[in-house]
A and B are shown apart, each in its own frame.
Chain A
Amino acid sequence: MGKYLLRQLLIIIPKVIGISIVLFTVLALAPGDPFEELATNPAVPPEVRANLRAQFGLDDPVAVRYVRWSTSMAKGDWGFSFASRVNVDELILQRLPTTLAVIGSSIVIALVIALVVGVYAATRPYSLFDQIASTFALIGFALPTFFTGIVFILVFSIALDWLPFVYRADLTATGWRWAWEQFRQMLMPVMVLALFQGASWTRYVRSAVLDVIRLDYVTTARSKGLAERVVILKHVVRNALIPVVTVVALQMPTVFGGAIVTEQIFRVPGIGSLLISAILANDTPVIMAVTFVLSCLVILCNLLADIAYVWLDPRIAYR
């Protein structure tokens, strides 16, 4: 187990390096100067500009620039934002908890929906419930998050006036009242993401359970007199979860993409909306850093998936 974990941790290192190379290549290939903002400023004389270029090492070969960029990233020196004149790492640390809260809770809710609905539908294949669930899963999967977000605002904020549609980071209430307000404003962004992912994962859970439930060992478990509940929960679901974990891990990039969209719709101050506003403000250091952080979060989720494999099937660790 320890050996397996160590190996998975070591695999991460080349992946992070690979991602940083991809990011840097994209930046280096891009036409135009990332420091154009400073360079085109008429108040900055040409000598100063040349000095600045030399100081930031823009005239060095690509490989040298990559090594310098990656070592300073590794040291925690992520530069400063052109737009707000704040260190990038501070900016990201400010925004990250909100994003993690939204993404984390929506993944949990999506998994609960997918597991409950998927397993229930698979144990009664082609029943009315199964057909309704499959139809809803397809519909939820075909509705893009930005459209469900708009429909939610139309229904719950404008028509019914139940929930606020702008997320506020500066709630004045305290105690229970604060928790209630926070819950109300988190509800729509989280549910938009959770319903989309839940719908797509429900289909995988259903087909995975259907694949496992026909196997002989399930018949054996039933024939030795175990309760159906125990057979399903302990014998079927645990094995069916292995391919589901793969799919969930593979879809993490989609989840983060969806989070960017929902943050933008509901004006949630997370790193997704930071990315969009940085792009609109031509704030290159922030854009690079946010993309890098999001990539690292995806890799972290893949690591969690690898740990989940071992928990589901201990044999994997000894391969």
Chain B
Amino acid sequence: MSGSTPASPTVSDAAGALREPKQVSLGMEAWRRFRRHRLAVAGAFILAFMALAVLLGPWLWPVAINDIDFTSRLQGPSWKHPFGTDDLGQDLLARMIYGGRISLAVGVVAMLIAVFVGVVLGAISGISRGSVDAALMWVTDLFLSLPQLPMLLLVIYLFRDSLKKYIGAEAGIFILIVVVIGIFRWMPVARLVRAQFLSLREKEFVEAARALGASTTRQVVRHILPNALGPVIVAATIDVAAAIIFESTLSFLGLGFPPDIPSWGRLLYDAKDHLDVATHWALFPGGAIFLTVLSITYIGDGLRDALDPRRVM
């Protein structure tokens, strides 16, 4: 999977057509396979739309997220408030845009941490034989059997206040949540990478590199790792969805972001006591989480088809 992402299709098409009509780069081939999974493409579009909406939203909808207006409490959707208002008369569309930024950012950053830790530990354990491998796998199995949500709650409970004191409420909670989710999600990636390494390190091309005198680091970084990344990319996609769900769960339990930082889960938590009078309040953030996770899952499915060359398509 060392092929770069398809840059501009027209240019590479033209270049390809000039030299050799049948030659297609790995990235182009993956893109062709991905496109055949129609739901994955739809998911990619929806996710791109959501990302754009939360990035550009504050300019297109310049309403403060904490504008309290008691004359319009718990109102349903209207032209003035497209997503309605909450019990303090705050505009829900503005809060949803803000919350989307938090939820998506948590998802991506937590995924990066989990994948980084997983790839490093999986690679070390996959390339080294004997006691190092055994010890790392034991730790992986141990972390796999830890109940993640209670551990997350425990860590957040123990570290929340002091981090808030040193870094500030918003950044402190963000860093804590992202790091903790990352720490409890790296195990599947580590196992995947290790399994890939175990088979790849015996392949001829690695042996050739070794025969040419490549150091272990070079073998790993230049030869084994790029070939092991396909399944990791798929797992990383799913990890984004898992991290978004984790963050919403924490906020939904009242232990994630504080009420002045309305992530989607926090909006749901605030909405759950007013279900009978303000249904829209719960349905919009819940629907947003659902749509994001569904899109990411379909994208993951599409990537699996695209990045597995053994699959005939």
Contact = CB atoms under 8 A, between A and B. Distances in A.
Interface of A: 15, 18-19, 22-23, 26-27, 29-32, 138-139, 141-144, 146-147, 150-151, 153-154, 158, 250, 252-254, 256-257, 260-261, 264-265, 275-276, 279-280, 282, 287-288, 290-291, 294-295, 297-299, 302
A138 B298 contact: yes
Interface string B119-163: 000000000000000000010011011111111011101110110
B158 A142 contact: no
A257 B150 contact: yes
Contacts of A15: 141-142, 145
Interface in B235-252: 241, 245, 248-249, 252
Contacts of B146: 19, 22, 253, 295, 298
Contacts of A250: 144
Interface of B: 138, 141-142, 144-151, 153-155, 157-159, 161-162, 241, 245, 248-249, 252-255, 265, 268, 271-272, 275-276, 279, 282, 286, 289-290, 293-294, 297-298
Given A18-B142, A257-B149, A298-B146, 10 more contacts: A15-B141, A142-B293, A144-B290, A253-B145, A253-B146, A254-B148, A256-B150, A257-B147, A276-B254, A288-B154
Residue among A142, A252, A282 facing the most chain B CB atoms (10 A cut-off): A142
B154 A26 contact: yes
Contacts of A253: 144-149
Contact of B275 (A32, A147, A153): A153
Given A261-B253, A295-B147, A144 B293 contact: yes
Contacts of B294: 138-139, 142
A147 B279 CA distance: 12
Given A151-B286, A158-B276, A144 B148 contact: no
A287 B154 contact: yes
A144 B142 contact: no
B248 A256 contact: no
B275 A142 contact: no
Contacts of A139: 294
A265 B249 CA distance: 11
A141 B252 contact: no
17 contacts: A15-B142, A18-B142, A26-B151, A26-B154, A142-B290, A142-B293, A144-B245, A146-B265, A158-B275, A253-B146, A253-B149, A257-B148, A260-B150, A260-B253, A261-B149, A290-B150, A295-B150
Given A138-B294, A142-B294, A261-B249, A295 B161 contact: no
Contacts of B148: 253-254, 257
Contacts of B157: 279, 282, 287
A146 B290 contact: no
A280 B254 contact: yes
A195 B255 CA distance: 25
B286 A150 contact: yes
Contacts of B268: 146-147, 150
Contact of B149 (A18, A32, A158, A260): A260
A279 B153 contact: yes
Contacts of B271: 150
A250 B144 CA distance: 7
Nearest to A302: B145
A244 B161 CA distance: 41
A51 B165 CA distance: 29
B76 to A, nearest CB: 14
The 7 closest A-B pairs by CB, nearest first: A257-B149, A30-B158, A142-B294, A147-B286, A31-B162, A142-B293, A253-B147
Contacts of A26: 151, 154-155, 158
A6 to B, nearest CB: 19
Contacts of B276: 158
Given A143-B290, A147-B290, A298 B145 contact: yes
Contacts of A260: 149-150, 153, 253
A22 B253 CA distance: 24
Nearest to B142: A18
Residue among A253, A254, A288 facing the most chain B CB atoms (10 A cut-off): A253
Nearest to B154: A291
A120 to B, nearest CB: 21
A71 B272 CA distance: 43
B62 to A, nearest CB: 29
A159 to B, nearest CB: 9
Contacts of A282: 157
Nearest to B246: A257
